[in-house]
Structure 1
Amino acid sequence: MSEFVRLEPHVIDEILAICDTVIAELDKASRIADGLGRAEGFGEFESAKQLAAGFARKGAGTPESAKERVDQFIVAFTQLRDAFASGGEAFLEAEFDWVRQLASIEQEL
């Protein structure tokens, strides 16, 4: 790639710290989302069981569920952080890829 971006070391450190914070929060959300696939307490009626199953599907276990969406964001932010950690050069190469990933996750929500 003919373009090159040079980032000052302190700017890279700040960006990496922000990415690490976001990833840590997303990791917490992912651990919480692990339990979303278990919907309980809706009762024994058939309609209640169907409602519980619907909530469980939205929580975890399908590509569109909350758990999987959070994990997709973790992957995208990890790639972004890694691109910046390279000093910015890889950012140009990865920029459109991770932007496309984030946009596709948001569009599917």
Structure 2
Amino acid sequence: MSEFIRLDPPVIAEIVAICDTMLAEFESSRIRAKNLVSANGFGDLESARQLAAGYSRKGAGTPESAYERIEQFIETLTQLRDAFAAGGEDFLDTQFDWARALDTVDRDM
């Protein structure tokens, strides 16, 4: 793009700090989501095993699962943070890419 966006250094630092805080929360969520594949305590009936398997699939292992969605958010937010950390110069080039990625994740949910 031929357009250029310039952000003041304190604004960039604040945006990057916000992104880092969000990324830390997503990392914590990713760790918890990884444990969602262990759906225990439903019992020994066939219907209980099927229910546990369904919850496990929602936790991790499929493109629509919680773990994979969190991974997608982390990747997109990291790209956004890096674009801002570069002083905003890369933001216009990447803004539509990350916005499209977030929109795709949101629509798939």
In the superposition, the TM-score normalised over structure 1's length comes to 0.99
Q: Gaps spanning 5+ residues in structure 2: where?
A: none
Aligned to 1:68: 68
The one-letter amino acid of 1:65's match is S
Aligned to 1:44: 44
1:44-88 superposed Cα distances (whole Å, 9 cap, x missing partner): 000000000000000011010000001110000000000001111
C-alpha separation between the residues in 2 aligned to 1:82 and 1:14?
13
C-alpha separation between the residues in 1 aligned to 2:12 and 2:72?
23
In the superposition, the TM-score normalised over structure 2's length comes to 0.99
Q: Gaps spanning 5+ residues in structure 1: where?
A: none
Equivalent pairs counted in the alignment come to 109
Two-structure CA RMSD over aligned residues (Å): 0.5
C-alpha separation between the residues in 2 aligned to 1:17 and 1:79?
14
Counterpart of 1:107 in 2: which secondary structure? helix
C-alpha separation between the residues in 2 aligned to 1:80 and 1:2?
19
The one-letter amino acid of 1:20's match is D
Aligned to 1:90: 90
